[in-house]
């Protein structure tokens, strides 16, 4: 886990767990060194433009095709498209922290689908899942045929053992496991967090425009794994998410048996504390797109299928400015989560491990106490310390699952946080100032 990942897709990486296991100059020679099988995994159409083309060549002990027939696997809380509009009024929503399970469950068993949009079959849209796990995956392996997993840990460290190597992530870091890459999650203790499952175009770094060549998430800070194969036989389960449902097949070996690989289709991780935050040094707010870490473009230029946005610790220096996030309504639909600390638009109720949802054109902004603080505080340079909120922002409305609407951790009184906002209008003030 030492190589920088440049998310421009024209990059090339290679890694080998044994000396000379990686073939020089050929992708698929007649005989692969060490008696390995050569196998390509493509994350884009073969004919995608070079800048968007994603593929890796894997040199493995056994080819991926060795497993039994897939059978349906029942999961009580995981949902796929179509996400129906039935459970989604335009109301603003908020949830308390996702409760930990009282029973033992691994990362896959602990998934809970909160919302989604788009269409898996059409490869558009995304889903939001929460996870709560307290047990390692041992005899189970998983891959997702429906989309990429962008995983945002909020509590507990996770070890991702993947086909291309291992990576550990902790809260304040994220990991992206691309569509199709097999993995297993090991825990050292209870873990909880958020997942954006992206059915659309793969995440990439946003364009920087007039910012220039540097800023926001810098390419050098993305990390990829190094080859680390598992030679293990037994009776295991290969789980997959395919067309919105889970499936299982028996597999008699570890599918994490890749000895060497090269290409640009790989899991990657990023430390959010390395985000180069850019904001005003005079007055007013740039729009929150200035905080975009990764974006999944849609077919419309400049309009994201998904933006992953963070609100990290930062200096606030704007003069003569309502510094809290302004009241607004938006064509985009915003799910927010909190990794640590407090968020400056909400005093209480928005807690680490919880979340809020403000869908298309649903008004939102600071609660009453945050409003009072923003209009009355003296504006000195101020450092917002130990805070890290994030947003999964989509061009499509987030449609709730029925379990999200009915969840016992949904805050039924969320709208109360704004109800004390009274009119301060005084037309005599206008007369006096003339
Ligand atoms: Fe917003």
- DSSP codes of every residue in 119-143: BTTTTB-EEEEEEEE-S--SSEEEE
93 CA from centroid of ligand 1 (Å): 13
What's the rounded mean pLDDT across residues 402-429?
A: 94
Position 347 confidence tier, pLDDT thresholds 50, 70, 90: confident
CB 87 within 8 A of CB 402: yes
8-state DSSP, 336: E
Q: Is the pLDDT of residue 122 over 70?
A: yes
* Strand partners of residue 186: 159
Nearest CA to 175 out of 146, 155, 153 is that of 153
User: Catalytic: 285?
Assistant: yes
pLDDT at 36: 97
Position 11 confidence tier, pLDDT thresholds 50, 70, 90: confident
pLDDT at 175: 98
pLDDT at 357: 98
359 CA from centroid of ligand 1 (Å): 9
pLDDT at 10: 57
Provide the CATH topology of domain 273-418.
Jelly Rolls (2.60.120)
8-state DSSP, 413: T
Position 4 confidence tier, pLDDT thresholds 50, 70, 90: very low
SS3 312: strand
391 CA from centroid of ligand 1 (Å): 9
Burial class (CB in 10 A: 0-12, 13-18, 19+), 3: middle
Question: What mean pLDDT, rounded, does the chain reach?
Answer: 94
pTM for the full predicted model: 0.95
Catalytic choice (75, 129, 285, 358): 285
Cα-trace Rg, the chain? 23
* % of the chain residues with pLDDT over 90: 88
158 CA from centroid of ligand 1 (Å): 30
361 CA from centroid of ligand 1 (Å): 10
Q: Which two tokens stand for residue 223?
A: 């990390």
* % of the chain residues with pLDDT over 70: 97
- DSSP codes of every residue in 223-234: EE--------EE
In the chain, what are the domain boundaries? Answer: 273-418
161 CA from centroid of ligand 1 (Å): 35
Q: Which two tokens stand for residue 427?
A: 């037309």
What's the rounded mean pLDDT across residues 24-42?
A: 95
For 135-145, what is each residue's pLDDT tens digit? 999 999 999 99
Give me the residue label for tokens 């073939």. Answer: 23
What's the rounded mean pLDDT across residues 274-282?
A: 97
**End-to-end C-alpha distance for the chain, whole angstroms:** 66
357 CA from centroid of ligand 1 (Å): 9
For 196-238, what is each residue's pLDDT tens digit? 999 999 999 999 999 999 999 999 999 999 999 999 999 999 9
For 239-268, what is each residue's pLDDT tens digit? 999 999 999 999 999 999 999 999 999 999
365 CA from centroid of ligand 1 (Å): 7
322's enclosing H/E stretch is none
Position 384 confidence tier, pLDDT thresholds 50, 70, 90: very high
Q: Distance between CA atoms of 116 and 303, rounded to whole angstroms?
A: 18
SS3 13: strand
Q: Is the pLDDT of residue 432 over 90?
A: no
Position 283 confidence tier, pLDDT thresholds 50, 70, 90: very high
78's enclosing H/E stretch is none
Position 433 confidence tier, pLDDT thresholds 50, 70, 90: low
**Neighbour count for residue 259 (Cβ, 10 Å):** 24
What's the rounded mean pLDDT across residues 4-17?
A: 68
For 304-346, what is each residue's pLDDT tens digit? 999 999 999 999 999 999 999 999 999 999 999 999 998 877 7
For 77-114, what is each residue's pLDDT tens digit? 999 888 999 999 999 999 999 999 999 999 999 999 99
E strands of 62-164, at which residues? Answer: 71-73, 93-95, 111-116, 126-133, 140-144, 148-155, 158-162
Burial class (CB in 10 A: 0-12, 13-18, 19+), 286: exposed
């Amino acid at each position: 886990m030492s190589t920088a990942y440049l998310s421009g897709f024209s990059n090339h990486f290679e890694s080998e767990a044994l000396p000379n296991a990686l073939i020089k100059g050929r992708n698929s020679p007649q005989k692969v060194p060490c008696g390995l099988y050569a196998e390509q995994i493509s994350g884009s159409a073969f004919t995608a433009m070079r800048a968007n083309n994603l593929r890796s060549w894997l040199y493995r002990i056994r080819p991926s095709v060795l497993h039994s027939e897939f059978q349906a696997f029942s999961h009580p809380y995981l949902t796929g498209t179509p996400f129906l509009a039935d459970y989604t009024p335009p109301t603003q929503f908020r949830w308390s922290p996702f409760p930990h399970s009282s029973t033992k469950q691994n990362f896959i068993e602990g998934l809970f689908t909160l919302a989604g949009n788009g269409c898996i079959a059409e490869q558009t849209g995304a889903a939001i899942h929460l996870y709560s796990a307290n047990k390692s995956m041992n005899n189970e392996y998983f891959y997702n045929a429906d989309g990429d997993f962008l995983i945002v840990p909020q509590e507990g460290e996770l070890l991702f053992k993947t086909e291309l190597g291992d990576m550990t992530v902790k809260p304040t870091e994220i990991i992206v496991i691309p569509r199709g890459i097999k993995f297993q999650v090991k825990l050292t203790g209870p873990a909880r967090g958020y997942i954006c499952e992206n059915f659309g175009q793969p995440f990439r770094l946003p364009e920087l425009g007039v910012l220039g060549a540097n800023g926001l998430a810098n390419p050098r800070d993305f990390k990829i794994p190094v080859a680390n194969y598992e030679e293990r036989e037994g009776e295991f389960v290969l789980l997959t998410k395919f067309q919105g449902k889970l499936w299982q097949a028996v597999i008699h070996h570890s599918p994490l048996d890749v000895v060497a690989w090269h290409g640009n289709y790989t899991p990657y991780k990023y430390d959010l504390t390395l985000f180069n935050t850019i904001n005003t040094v005079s007055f007013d707010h740039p729009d929150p797109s200035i905080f975009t870490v990764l974006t999944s473009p849609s077919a419309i230029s400049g309009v994201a299928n998904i933006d992953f946005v963070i609100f990290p610790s930062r200096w606030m220096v704007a003069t003569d400015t309502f510094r809290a996030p302004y009241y607004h309504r938006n064509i985009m639909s915003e799910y927010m989560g909190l990794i640590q600390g407090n968020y400056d638009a909400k005093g209480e109720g928005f807690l680490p491990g919880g979340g809020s949802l403000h869908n298309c054109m649903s008004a939102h902004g600071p609660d009453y106490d945050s409003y009072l603080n923003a209009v009355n505080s003296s504006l000195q340079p101020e450092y917002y310390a130990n805070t890290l909120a994030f947003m999964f922002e989509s061009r499509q409305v987030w449609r709730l699952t029925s379990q999200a609407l009915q969840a016992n951790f949904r805050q039924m009184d969320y709208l109360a946080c704004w109800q004390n906002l009274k009119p301060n209008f005084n037309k005599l003030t206008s007369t006096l100032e003339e």
